[in-house]
Structure 1
Amino acid sequence: MPNKTFQTNDAVEEQGSDFNYREILDAVILHWHWFAISIVGCLFIAFLYLRYKAPVYSTGAEVLIKEEDPYKSRMQGSALADFSQLGILTNSNGFDNEVEILSSKTLARRAVTNLKLYVRYAFDGTVRDEELYRTSPILADMSSVDLDTLSMPVFLEIKPLQEGGYHIEGEALEERFEADVKTLPVRVKTLSGWVSLRPNPDPTCVFDDRALRIYIYRPTIMAEAFLEATSIEPISKMTTIARITKNDTQRQRAEDYMNELIRVYNEDANEVKNEVALKTEAFVNKRIKIIDAELGTTESDLEMYKKRNQLVDLMSDAEAAYKGIENYQTQQIELQTQMLLVKSLKEYVENPTNYMEVIPANLGLTDQGLNNIIAEYNAKVVDRKRLLKTAPESSPVVVSATNAIASLYPGIRHSLSTVYDNLRVQKRNVDEQYDLFVGRLSNAPTQERVLSDIGRQQSVKAALYQILLQKREENAISLASTVDKAQVIDAPESTIRPISPKKKLVALIALVMGVAIPAGLIYVLNLLRYRIEGRNDIEKLTDLAVLSDIFVAGELKDGKRAIVVRENTNDIMEETFRSLRTNLGFVMKKSEKVLLCTSVISGEGKTFVSTNLAMSMALMGRKVLVVGLDIRKPRLAKLFGLVTGHHGLTTYLAGEDSSDEFLREQVFNSGMHANLDVLPAGLIPPNPGELITSERLDDAFARFREWYDIVIVDTPPVGLVSDTLLLGRLADATLIVCRCDYSLKRNFNIVNTIHQEGKLPKMNLVLNGVDLQQRKYGYYYGYGNYGRYGRYGSYGSYGGYGNYGGYGKETHTGKSKSRHGSSRYLREDHFDDKD
């Protein structure tokens, strides 16, 4: 297993967590200007929003919905008291229905129409218009017919002219119109109908320098808008008090609308409630006219009979019989009166036009059962008519009410017939008793009997006439004393402070958005990254230790050669390779001398790292040999400026001479330091695979171990050819070079596979190409100026790693270009672009 000594405890702990607080902190620090710009921008947008957003106020009122039928409520209360105490039942269905009626579109439309809220006024503003309510200098309106057929809003813009009059521009049905008028009122013709304009009678409502804008909407649309901004809810489960709340930018408009809504609700409820009384009034007046005519005829007959027969006084001997007759005559009058009332009601009920209509009540019927069933029937008819105002006849609630009425109607007819029959039986019995007393007066003059008959008829008509007059007065009193169904408990009142927009909430949202936008952008950019950018990425992708980070060098010291480690110098590059040299000492034992240096793909800087590492070790006084085993694409000779001719490793491997002298002839001094030798690859052979596996190579490395303190082998990329894996048998340790902003993250799958299968010994990583000027490497923060090393330049273009020695292609980005500027020598030598 690789040695992980070089990772801090914090790094090890953070690897076990998916949420890395240090990365978040580094991202915030490194991109603080993004956050600053975003927060300032979002707060500025929030300021503009709060500056120009119209404030919204809340208006509330509480109303008590009174129960309509106390008798029905008492009956239901006795039956449902136990359920109410248990909390199973709360408000009655009647209260729920009243709440629905109060929030119906019909009532909202009536309130909007009455207050003319379908017309909106505003003065033209720079950013937003200034809405007007009751303060517009000009009032507009349209006829109800045109308003009901209005498919699109009508727009008018009115400007006062300097010479007097007004200039009117507008749009109706997507067609513009304009006109000049001298005086108001005036009517303007549009495609949607005539628009009437008149001055506001309030003298304080005048024009300023801005134009007046008028919008006329269909009342139904405005009613829907008002309903959406209005909520009606019971304040508790056990009361019939409703809380009405409306949000609006104009407090006075909301209060006016709520007052008008309550008024039209009471008006509607009273219309339904008084329907029974109005029907009764019409019925009583009709009967009074008939009885009045009949009573006048009876009195006239009596007068003419007395005159014709010269009648003055009754017979004294019939006085006793008269008392009995008077007793039964009184009963006859009462029964006759009841029969006439029942008969009239029966005719009224049997009339098909009165079906589903209220039945006249409180006429003085003595049968209490008949009175109760008529009262129950009328209550259900009234409820049904109220439901029809907010629901169609096909709705379940209306159908249920209709069925209930239909079931009561035959019962009423049957009850009327039964009561009438009973009255006739009683009348017959009374008549029989009456006839007995009349028989006692057989000897009385015939005139007296006739007078009695006429008098009886007169009494019946007079009693009925008196009853009808009394009922008419009672009905008139009932109409005059009708009480509103909704009683206002708390009048509409608006809040002093607006409920929207909430400044603190908007500022908080802006602050959160100011942080979230750059954070989200950074997160998305991190998701889209497919190259490594630093040590953090490597630690997430593999368990191998990173021995050192190779920074980007600043200035070239010797032509195009990429040997940045020199004798008697002390800059950041020397320190970098000293660090790598030191850490490598913890990986390799003293007896282990062969170090394999490779990468996954070409261009990651393995030759740069191997040569400079060799130079750093040579400066310690150790005898170092750099072997160029990348024989498909040799570069060492060019890198050190050597003229090798036909000498090189391939010359030895392909020859037959195995002597030490022949092998030494292939080795060159680097020209950089006396302790640093180079064994270039030599000529490119046609069979590199066979040469790498030859025993002559094993024999050569056995002698290198004797001659040198350390042997560094520059090998081909492991992701392109298998030569490096074959060379693993010769090495004691392996360095895998990867490069910032160049190496692909997916290539670490190859590294991990090789490590898990143990194909290369003691694998460790080296991160190459770390540019301190790119402030995205949080863990290098502070190294930009280190001692006297100063700033180090950018490393320029990477170039494409393209074809590797003709043995295949690793297509990456074509002509990959660095985001970090350019350097004079790094293109060819520092990063092995053609390596």
Structure 2
Amino acid sequence: MDNQFNNSFTFNEEESIDLKQELRRYFRYWPWFVIALLVSLLGAYFYVRYAPRIYETYSKIKILDESEGLELPTSAFVFKRTNINLENEIEIITSYLIMDRVVRELNLNTSFYEEGTIQTSQIASLPFAYEQIIKPDSIERTLSYKLELNTKGFQITNLKTENVFDFNTYSTKQDDHNLPFNVALEDDTQLDKLRDKAFIINFNPIKSTALGLKNKIKVEAIGEASDLLKLSIKGESVGRSEKIINTLMDVFNKDGIYDRQLVSKRTLDFIDERFVFLAEELDSIEIDQEVFKEKNNIIDIATDAELGLEQRSESEAEQFKLENQLTLSRLLGEALKGNSESDLLPANIGIENGGINTLISEYNLAVINRDKLENSAGKNNPAVQSAQSQVDDLKANISRSLNTYTSQLEASLKQLETRTQKFAGRVSQIPQQERLFKAIQRQQKIKESLYLLLLQKREEAAINLAITEPSIKVVENALSGTKPISPKPNIVYAAALLGGLLIPFGILYLIFMLDTKLHGKEDITKVTSKIPVIGEIPNLKKSKDIIFKDPNDRSPLAESFRILSANVDYILPIADGEKGKVIYCTSTIKGEGKTYISLNLSLALSSMNKKVLLIGADLRNPQIHAHINEDKQKSGLSNYLHDVEYDWKEALINGFGMHPNHRILLSGNIPPNPAHLLTNGRFKKLLEEAKQEYDYVVVDTAPTILVTDTMLISQYADATVYIARANYTERNLLKFSKELSESGKLKNMAYVINSVGAGKSYGYGYNYGYNYGYGNPSNS
């Protein structure tokens, strides 16, 4: 097979996946996708149409820090830092204790529903008066009642026991009954609207209701650095959800207030106990202070010292003020001297002299006026020169005023310096006894500060107890969205569309993944790229005529076999003289269509005005006779191989009148020892004689994996056509045929794929299976 044709059939064994081919595999099943899409979209429509509408209700609260309560300015905390732990607050809000209080306050263990034609929706309350008789704590198991309004009155059914209570009026209060509630229709105008409607009343234990509410409530922090919390709940009834959220905030707030009041009470008790000891210690220190003053003849030294310090501080402040004015005046004078004619002076820089400030303002206005006139009339204009004179005059006045003001400031500053030195000397003359007296005062101040601190805390605790601030600030009361969060049509339809595509895709993917059958040329090239595929015969299971009877036929079947015959001619070795070529047709197992291929291949070769002999060499399970309506036991190859006197030419059949150059040698009687007959030398002799008279000898041999018949005579073939059937042959069987070719057991081998595009059934009327079914298994 080292010729040009074989080279044209080589492929890269590591060929990448053909995406177009993979997509084509799935597009073959497009009706599945269409049906799945229709079903999923229809299901999505009914879900969106009849699913209960779920709304989200939320609120926002700010957790107030306890340290932000009523505190006096002398708080001990210099830097105030928040003490809020939002995770703890979230756990408290969603605790069973809080949920239990909410359930009890709103009577949530009683729920109401309105029955519709298809769905039942939850409502916040009944559209008529309702009075509950049973106490919430006495509900130990779930109770359900159905309430209907008919033409006479109420009809109430216990859904657990199926007991029916009929009332002749639209009120249950006048009749004796053992129902856990009373209902009454007080507004007769609503009767026509409510008639023939049904409502469900459910009673649940408080514990299960509280646990259910605990799972429904969602609390989360808003941002990382924020102390705001968002409370949310999802439900069918907007009114019921808003009541739950608002009540939850109120219960949580009251719980925090109660905790703070409890702390205030305990604080008051503790401070009152400490006051007794502090009062005794303060009395002792005050007596020591009095004795010290009498002994050292001291009246009030601290007052004199404080007065001296205050006077010195005031004097220093006035001195600083004068120095500041003096500096500003000097800076303004420097600015005036270095100022150009067109520059303005800084105004209102802090000089406390109204005259100078007024002159500066007039000067700046004069400069602006001069510049405007100069820009419009030029420098030589009389008006400009007059404006320039005014500017010069104002500048001179400002300079004189600044000099006068500076002199005044310097004189005042000298007087203040003398006064400040006088006050400093007075402070230094404080008696030495004051230092000794401070030690006593220090002890007194410590006790007094502690006493005042406790007194302050006591007042704070008393005020907090009287007007305890809320533990939360409601940022937003319960709000509900105008649109339901579920179902969302866009998402539902998108999911349905995606599911309608993915479900059949997934099923097909699993089918393809679990599929071990050969389907086309690509499956062969993945196993071996060295053995060419010379033909792909289409599946024509719906066609009645599957035999190439007419040499001029232009059907797809005829064209496919013409292509196959041409390709077979290419793989044959170069002609050696005038002898014909021997072509074997074999397969791996029974049912792959080797007889069908060999028959039509021989007819295709005959249609090219070539003399062709078809030999049925499958002695164990012959099938050629079935296509030409001949007797299975008609003499043929087995008779020739067995009888040395038998002339094989006498058994030739012209099975197709339109193919005058075509002859058939049937298998003959089924022998008990096919392998022995094929190896007795007469088969080789037959081929040699046939090659002298025919251009092509096509041999229909036995399957290779079941018996050794083909292997025994394989050396006589010029080319071997190996048939594999699409959707029938196992892909792993290709390795067997590959080994036969690579080991040289089959000469010049090429593949032909039969029934390409076939489904699960085989359309040629062959009832083949994997069990080959030879007559004498012992000789197989």
Shorter-chain TM-score tier: 0.5 to 0.7
Q: 3-state DSSP class of the match of 1:176?
A: coil
Q: For the structure 1 residues 142 and 766, does the alpha-carbon distance in structure 2 shift closer, same or farther, using more than 3 Å as the test? A: farther
Alignment-derived partner of residue 160 in structure 1: 149
TM-score w.r.t. the length of structure 2 is: 0.67
Matched, 1:621 2:609: yes
Taking the aligned partners of 1:617 and 1:106, their CA distance within structure 2 comes to 95
Q: 3-state DSSP class of the match of 2:34?
A: helix
Q: For the structure 1 residues 511 and 269, does the alpha-carbon distance in structure 2 shift closer, same or farther, using more than 3 Å as the test? A: same
After superposition, the C-alpha distances for 1:332-371 in whole angstroms (9 at most, x for unaligned) are xxxxxxxxxxxxxxxxxxxxxxxxx66614549558xxxx
The one of 38, 41, 44 equivalent to 1:40 is 38
Alignment of 1:400-549 (within 5 A): 478-533=464-519, 535=521, 543=529, 544=531, 545-549=533-537
The one of 556, 570, 573 equivalent to 1:586 is 570
Q: For the structure 1 residues 719 and 805, does the alpha-carbon distance in structure 2 shift closer, same or farther, using more than 3 Å as the test? A: same
Q: How far is 1:509 from its partner?
A: 0.3
Q: How far is 1:205 from its partner?
A: 6.9
CA contact (8 A) 1:551 1:576 kept: no
Q: How far is 1:503 from its partner?
A: 1.6
After superposition, the C-alpha distances for 1:154-174 in whole angstroms (9 at most, x for unaligned) are 11111224234x211113xx4
The one of 710, 731, 737 equivalent to 1:751 is 737
Q: For the structure 1 residues 801 and 221, does the alpha-carbon distance in structure 2 shift closer, same or farther, using more than 3 Å as the test? A: closer
The one of 259, 269, 279 equivalent to 1:360 is 269
Q: How far is 1:734 from its partner?
A: 1.0
Q: For the structure 1 residues 140 and 640, does the alpha-carbon distance in structure 2 shift closer, same or farther, using more than 3 Å as the test? A: same
Alignment-derived partner of residue 633 in structure 1: 621
CA contact (8 A) 1:769 1:795 kept: no
Q: For the structure 1 residues 140 and 691, does the alpha-carbon distance in structure 2 shift closer, same or farther, using more than 3 Å as the test? A: farther
Taking the aligned partners of 2:184 and 2:601, their CA distance within structure 1 comes to 95
TM-score w.r.t. the length of structure 1 is: 0.63
Q: 3-state DSSP class of the match of 2:747?
A: coil
Alignment of 1:58-457 (within 5 A): 58-69=56-67, 92=83, 94-139=85-130, 141=132, 143-144=134-135, 147-148=136-137, 150-164=139-153, 166-171=154-159, 174-181=160-167, 182=169, 183-185=171-173, 195-199=180-184, 207-277=194-264, 279=265, 360-363=269-272
Matched, 1:606 2:594: yes
Contiguous gaps of at least 5 residues in structure 2: 293-455
Alignment of 1:19-38 (within 5 A): 20-28=19-27, 30-38=28-36
After superposition, the C-alpha distances for 1:760-783 in whole angstroms (9 at most, x for unaligned) are 1222222334578x6x99xxxxxx
CA contact (8 A) 1:580 1:613 kept: yes
CA contact (8 A) 2:69 2:469 kept: no
Alignment-derived partner of residue 335 in structure 1: none
Alignment-derived partner of residue 566 in structure 1: 550
CA contact (8 A) 2:70 2:463 kept: no
After superposition, the C-alpha distances for 1:152-207 in whole angstroms (9 at most, x for unaligned) are 3211111224234x211113xx43333224433379877xxx61224477888763
Alignment of 1:808-827 (within 5 A): 808=777
Q: How far is 1:507 from its partner?
A: 0.9
Q: For the structure 1 residues 752 and 504, does the alpha-carbon distance in structure 2 shift closer, same or farther, using more than 3 Å as the test? A: same
CA contact (8 A) 1:552 1:770 kept: no
Taking the aligned partners of 1:511 and 1:725, their CA distance within structure 2 comes to 56
Taking the aligned partners of 1:3 and 1:139, their CA distance within structure 2 comes to 99
Q: Which amino acid aligns with 1:115?
A: L
Taking the aligned partners of 1:422 and 1:724, their CA distance within structure 2 comes to 125
After superposition, the C-alpha distances for 1:33-63 in whole angstroms (9 at most, x for unaligned) are 2222221221111111111122222222221
Alignment of 1:720-731 (within 5 A): 720-731=706-717
Q: For the structure 1 residues 205 and 706, does the alpha-carbon distance in structure 2 shift closer, same or farther, using more than 3 Å as the test? A: same
After superposition, the C-alpha distances for 1:248-289 in whole angstroms (9 at most, x for unaligned) are 222232222222111111211222222255x5xxxxxxxxxx
CA contact (8 A) 2:537 2:557 kept: no
Q: How far is 1:588 from its partner?
A: 1.8
Taking the aligned partners of 1:187 and 1:527, their CA distance within structure 2 comes to 72
Q: 3-state DSSP class of the match of 2:226?
A: coil
Alignment-derived partner of residue 575 in structure 1: 559
Most deviating of 731-740 and 699-708: 699-708
Taking the aligned partners of 1:644 and 1:159, their CA distance within structure 2 comes to 84
Q: Which amino acid aligns with 2:660?
A: A
Taking the aligned partners of 1:796 and 1:653, their CA distance within structure 2 comes to 30
After superposition, the C-alpha distances for 1:741-800 in whole angstroms (9 at most, x for unaligned) are 44344433322332333321222222334578x6x99xxxxxxxxxxxxxxx95456355
Taking the aligned partners of 2:228 and 2:242, their CA distance within structure 1 comes to 19
Q: Which amino acid aligns with 1:806?
A: G
Contiguous gaps of at least 5 residues in structure 1: 82-90, 280-356, 368-415, 434-469, 778-792, 810-834
Q: Which amino acid aligns with 1:239?
A: S
Alignment-derived partner of residue 328 in structure 1: none
Q: Which amino acid aligns with 1:593?
A: K
Alignment-derived partner of residue 55 in structure 1: 53
Q: For the structure 1 residues 138 and 366, does the alpha-carbon distance in structure 2 shift closer, same or farther, using more than 3 Å as the test? A: closer
Q: Which amino acid aligns with 1:719?
A: I
Q: For the structure 1 residues 72 and 715, does the alpha-carbon distance in structure 2 shift closer, same or farther, using more than 3 Å as the test? A: farther
Q: Which amino acid aligns with 1:485?
A: S
Q: For the structure 1 residues 488 and 709, does the alpha-carbon distance in structure 2 shift closer, same or farther, using more than 3 Å as the test? A: same
Q: 3-state DSSP class of the match of 1:175?
A: coil
The one of 708, 732, 736 equivalent to 2:722 is 736
Percent identical among aligned pairs is 27
Q: How far is 1:6 from its partner?
A: 10
The one of 791, 795, 798 equivalent to 2:767 is 798
CA contact (8 A) 1:2 1:762 kept: no
Q: How far is 1:505 from its partner?
A: 1.0
Q: Which amino acid aligns with 2:269?
A: P
Q: Which amino acid aligns with 1:212?
A: F
Matched, 1:680 2:658: no
CA contact (8 A) 2:714 2:745 kept: yes
Q: 3-state DSSP class of the match of 1:766?
A: strand
Alignment-derived partner of residue 16 in structure 2: 17
Q: For the structure 1 residues 201 and 627, does the alpha-carbon distance in structure 2 shift closer, same or farther, using more than 3 Å as the test? A: same
RMSD: 4.4
CA contact (8 A) 1:550 1:577 kept: no
Q: For the structure 1 residues 63 and 619, does the alpha-carbon distance in structure 2 shift closer, same or farther, using more than 3 Å as the test? A: closer
Taking the aligned partners of 1:158 and 1:24, their CA distance within structure 2 comes to 58
Q: How far is 1:707 from its partner?
A: 2.7
CA contact (8 A) 1:168 1:180 kept: yes
Q: How far is 1:80 from its partner?
A: 10
CA contact (8 A) 1:233 1:242 kept: yes
After superposition, the C-alpha distances for 1:512-534 in whole angstroms (9 at most, x for unaligned) are 11112222232233345454455
